[in-house]
Structure 1
Amino acid sequence: MNVVNTHKRIINQPQVKVAMLLETLATKADCVWPNDKWPPIRFKNGLKVGEKGGHGIIRYSVEEYILGKLIVFRFLQPKGFNGIHKFEVKEINSTSTEVTHSIIMNTIGVKATLQWLIAIRWLHDALIENAFDTIENNFLEVKKHTKWSYWVSFWRFILTRIR
């Protein structure tokens, strides 16, 4: 199954400020990943090309890294997830920046396709919106929190019980 899943958010800050946050991804001072709500993103030797890591059951390697602008990850697990996901930071104007996260992959086999359709897609969508909240909240007094759907809450409940 062909999967293209894209999330975008406009952050009302200059690109350089948002780019500095992206550089903290997967560090102890992470200002992007919603570690308070989701399994942390980790890489043994830091975020650099060729490094392997991931979060939860999702594993990937860093395929491309342009400091403050682009990070491309290649899926390693789950089996049957063939493709990439990426974070991009682009300047709209001097006071606005667009942050994009995209998955571009094919699922191979019934198991991978069902994993994506039934659970991972919904969890992924919630995680990315929470990550965008985390980025934006670095600049806001009144913090944002994207609420989870019933389906996301259900899967999180189930997954915490089987771990």
Structure 2
Amino acid sequence: MRVRNLHLRHLPVPPDRAGALIDGLASPDDALWPADRWPAMRLDRPLAVGAAGGHGPVRYTVAAYTPGHGVRFRFRAPRGFDGFHEFTAGPADGGGAVLRHLLAIRAHGPALLTWPLVFRPLHDALLEDCLDRAEHALTGTVRAPARWSPYVRLLRAAAVRGRRRRDEALGTGPVRP
């Protein structure tokens, strides 16, 4: 199954300001990734080709990076996700900038079920939260904030319960939702 999933936000700022948000991904000053609500994006070194990391159960390597414009991550996990996801910033028709996130994969094996049932709803909610953060960072406001669906809230609650059980079994600390 081929999957192409696109999220974008038009922003009333020059494209280089939107591109600067991409440049800050996985850094201590990351103003794009919503680590306050989702598993943080972490990389084994600063954003550059070859940096490896991920967020939650998703693992990837930086396959391409053009400062001020975009970054492409090649998936390594979960199983069945063959492809990439990327953030790009560029000029919008009529002025301003457009910040885009594209996920393009060939889903196979377990991903034939996990993508539509689990990962897509969570991915869509996470990306809309990213774009809300971008809009707020660049304009000071969010015109139409994203809202999580009841299904996304259910999936997140189930994930938190699962992490709590795992942490209790391992004797590690509390889990944040």
Higher deviation after alignment, 12-21 or 39-48 = 12-21
Q: Matches of 1:9 and 1:161 in 2, distance apart?
A: 33
Residue type of the alignment partner of 1:56: G
1:128 aligns with 2:118: no
2:11 is the counterpart of 1:2:
no
Deviation digits for residues 109-142 of structure 1 (CA, Å, limit 9, x no counterpart): 1x21111010100000000000000010013344
Structure 2 CA distance for aligned equivalents of residues 85 and 20 of structure 1: 18
Question: Deviations along 1:80-119, whole A, 9 cap, x unmatched?
Answer: 100011111011268510111011111111x211110101
- TM-superposed deviation, 1:54: 0.4
The residue aligned with 1:151 is 151
**Unpaired stretches in structure 1, ≥5 consecutive residues:** none
Any stretches of 5+ residues in structure 2 without a counterpart? 164-177
Percent of residue pairs bearing the same amino acid type: 35
Alignment RMSD, CA only?
A: 1.4
8 Å contact from structure 2 (residues 18, 138) kept in 1: no
Distance 2:58 2:52 in 1: 11
**Take 1:141 and 1:40, find their aligned partners in 2: how far apart are those partners?**
22
- The number of residue pairs the alignment matches comes to 162
- The higher radius of gyration belongs to 2
Is 1:28 aligned with 2:25? no
TM-score by length of 2: 0.87
- Structure 1 residue aligned with 2:52: 52
Q: Going by fraction, where is strand more abundant, 1 or 2?
A: 1
Equivalent residue, structure 2, for 1:61: 61
Amino acid at match of 1:75: F
Is the aligned partner of 1:82 residue 2:88? no
Deviations 1:23-76 (A, max 9, x none): 111100001001111000000111110111000000000000000111000000
Amino acid at match of 1:107: A
Does the 8 Å contact 2:19/2:70 carry over to 1?
no
- Tell me the distance in 1 between the aligned counterparts of 2:94 and 2:120: 34
Q: TM-score, normalised by structure 1?
A: 0.95
Kept in 2: contact 1:14–1:93 (CA 8 A): no
